[in-house]
Structure 1
Amino acid sequence: MSSAVSSRRSRPGRPGRPRHIPAYDDRLSGREQILDVAARLFVGRGFAATSTREIAEGVGIRQASVYYYFSSKDKILEELLALTVRPTLEQIDRVEAVATEHGWAAALYALVMIDTGTLAEAPHNTGLLPSLPEVRSLEQFQPYREVRSDLVDAYGRLGSHIVGHQVDGNLITHLVESVVASRADGVAVDEDARHAIATAALGACGATKEEITIAAAVTWAELLA
């Protein structure tokens, strides 16, 4: 055998591209299956205690196949974290545009309803992932922390417009994230519960009962219908 042929045969290719993803869940793509299993394991066992081998076994693929979709376990967690805030952040411009016609209370109500909806529907309650010690401290998760800070700032900005002075966005964020705690306790978070959280957020910013009623009506008519 020539050295050229030997070299070609020994040269590693792209790692682990799967020819077929077993039917973990036919509704999900291979990438989504990995994220779903990883979410369950990270929430249930923790990030450090979960290996890519266990994620692969949960999906039913080779460990090397995980690396076809994600270059590292960190990247899997980064994507799961992004999914807890991305749907809400993508709506901020649209939500703030509502304020032009309907007022800041409507904008804040809408943002809280969108955010609580994202957290209420997140598979395996992935809203718990930001509390992992690795996410709070490791440098590779700083981009997520910055994005989450943008969301906190948006809450503070909207609340400040309502009350007329500076509002700490963390106050509203903590109300929103009560969804995560409720789910962890086995309590379903339905539309009424989300409305109650949005009402509490507006009340904390000084909105009147009439403003809250109008805000809810506008949100359902224009953003959540």
Structure 2
Amino acid sequence: MNTQQIERFFATLQAANRLPASELEYTSVFELLVAVLLSAQATDVGVNKATRRLFPVANTPRQILDLGLEGLEGHIKTIGLYRSKARHLMQTCAILLRDHGGEVPRTREALEQLPGVGRKTANVVLNVAFGEPTMAVDTHIFRVANRTGLAPGKTPLAVEHQLLQRVPPQYLAHAHHWLILHGRYVCVARTPRCWQCAVADCCDFEPKTPAP
């Protein structure tokens, strides 16, 4: 993709969805952190199903700790890897209370020191909660960036760096969500829906046609 194509790509996505939002359900920065931590190798639908049970009972670090490990596992057991996620969440809550006054920190360094919080999770929190122009490269963004020629890279970190360099500044705040939603519903893994794609003409990719 050249500079003109990239500008048209994001201008088109913006026109279709001016204020894209996460499909995870949350009402506070802490709830967002919990939801993203639980979302590793799980769908947003599955996470929302679990947090609808969890958050009415416990939606602060202290309340999570008060549940105990077994109690927390019981609320999130429908999610894959729930045992390790519960353990990481308990450890994270203890650190938030001990080192951050129960608040979610606003720096990447502090976020990545929390158990279960890697670069991708930190990027989501920084972008969604605090408005930082970060790129949380998940499987959808990695695929879209490489398939379209927007930001080719062999690793998620390489794609992240490419995106931060190539996405025009005026689109950076929302580019993360536009790309995720595009990859989730249009530029899907097996059979991209190019015939439904408003930005197909921007891509370095031969458009697919619908099956007869």
Please tell me whether Structure 1 or Structure 2 has the larger radius of gyration of its CA atoms. 1
Select the structure that is richer in helix: 1
